[in-house]
Amino acid sequence: MRIRTYSRGHIVQKFREHCQSLTADKKAGYQREFEELSYTGQDFPCRAGDLSANKEKNRYPRILPYDHCRVKLCPLMSQPHSDYINASYVPGGYTSHDFICTQAPLPSTMDDFWRMVWEQNVQVIVMVTALKGSSKVMCNQYWPPERGMGCYGAVQVTSMSCHYGPDCYVTTIHLRHRGQSGERHVTHYHYPDWPDQGVPKDPSSLCAFAERVRKHLEDVSPARPTVVHCSAGVGRSGTFVALLWLMRLCLRGIPPDVYLTVRDLRRHRVLMVQNLGQYIFVHQCLLHWLGRDKLGPSTHNAFRLQPQQPERPKHSRRHGVSRGRQPDRPHQDPEATRLSLGSSLQTFLPGKLLRRILPASSTPSSHASRDTEL
């Protein structure tokens, strides 16, 4: 399918102008867009998570997966409702199952978590929360210490090595399954310096982390979803997935639209990108990533980031989260605040190999755009 793509310089210029328009009048444009997102997806049923048999499996009682895109485990013999886990398939640039966003495992759900990792053939886990914050457990440690081994149901988990990278820990994990042959390898990325319901202090840190994960995922089969979790699996997880998705679009010369990205994510899991600060931060990170002086040659399909200087991770805090239910309503785009490349951007195409924003039919200037087939 042929779509129109744009040079990096053109994307940077137009996205910067767009962010400036949203920032005007005390960030009124950001506020307006984010308020409209509150209506997205919240009429979708969550019957499985509401079942009394599954309530104890939810870390937060109001953060439940939608039935239409929840991850279903293979049922265990003679165990009703054993297919349930608080996890959702979400898109991220290629298919509707690029990522699994889930809550941090509880002591009672660690077996289910590793069962999901095995059944979904996951190769990468991204954790964007500290284990504890303000004397509250944000996430129970669900993997053994370095060189340690633990059994979680039928899955044997062994932490082979742990290395410190820029603002993150990277652990190599080996998995075996009782009754099945073979060994699998999982890379666990832990980015702890992200406060609950907040944002990191510096966008460069998160951009470097997201770029590192993105490059790793280039070598992973798109048929194998990547697990992303924070504590509830919505705010920080949604922010990270949105940023990674938009990076992928930009690398293909496709102009980013944060609003449409978050709207699509919220149709797959409640409260993805949970608050206004996180919504604005996605824009800030993307603008930082697009406009860095250290980016490589101007090209619509390749950016090169220099490695960041590491800072020691800090613990973060976790607060309660809430979820309302309001009917979904269509988004009305204020023309003055929408990103324009000779025309406004249209919509995503769910189910396509590349879930992307398509420019409208009118033709931008020839020096800033080009046609390509993806």
DSSP for 256-284, written as a single string: P-HHHHHHHHHTTSTTSS-SHHHHHHHHH
The residues near 292 (Cβ < 8 Å, ≥ 6 apart) are 305
Instruction: Tell me which residue has tokens 């073979």.
Output: 182
| 230 labelled catalytic | yes
Helix ranges, the chain (H): 8-37, 47-50, 110-119, 203-217, 235-251, 258-266, 276-291
- Radius of gyration in angstroms for the set of CA atoms belonging to the chain, rounded to a whole number: 20
What's the predicted TM-score (pTM) here? Answer: 0.81
String of b and e for 29-51 (b: at least 16 CB within 10 Å)? bbeebbebbebbbbebebebbee
Ramachandran assignment for 25, one of left (phi > 0), alpha (psi -120 to 50 degrees), beta (any other): left
β-sheet bridge partners, residue 175: 157, 184
The label of the residue with tokens 């590192």 reads: 212
> How many distinct helices (H) and strands (E) make up the chain?
7, 13
**Given 139, 207, 230, 285, the catalytic residue:** 230
229, 128 Cβ separation under 8 angstroms: yes
**One-letter amino acid for residue 88 of the chain:** S
SS3 state at 371: strand
Per-residue pLDDT of the chain (374 residues; tens, 9 = 90+): 567 899 999 999 999 999 999 999 999 999 999 999 999 998 999 999 999 999 999 999 999 999 999 999 999 998 999 999 999 999 998 899 999 999 999 999 999 999 999 999 999 999 999 999 878 999 999 999 999 999 999 999 999 999 998 899 999 999 999 989 889 999 999 999 999 988 999 999 999 999 999 999 998 888 899 999 999 999 999 999 999 999 999 999 999 999 999 999 999 999 999 999 999 999 999 999 998 743 433 333 333 333 333 333 343 333 333 333 344 443 333 333 333 333 323 334 433 434 444 333 323 333 344 444 44
Please tell me whether residue 5 adopts helix, strand or coil conformation: strand
Give me the count of residues in the chain: 374
Q: d(Cα 257, Cα 263) in Å, to the nearest integer?
A: 10
Separation between Cα atoms, residue 252 and residue 356, nearest integer Å: 10
Q: Which residues contact 43 (CB under 8 A, 6 or more apart)?
A: 325, 326, 327, 328
pLDDT of residue 352: 44
Residue 321 and residue 129 in contact, taking contact as beta carbons nearer than 8 Å: no
For residue 124, the surrounding DSSP H or E stretch is strand 124-127
Write phi, then psi, for 151 (nearest 5 degrees).
-110, 125
Q: Round to whole Å and give the CA distance between 49 and 60.
A: 11
Domains of the chain plus CATH, in order, are 9-336 (3.90.190.10)
Say how far apart CA 272 and CA 185 lie, in whole Å: 28
Taking Cα atoms as reference points, which of 14, 5, 1 lies closest to residue 339?
Answer: 14
Instruction: Quote the CA–CA distance of 55 and 96 in Å, as a whole number.
Output: 26
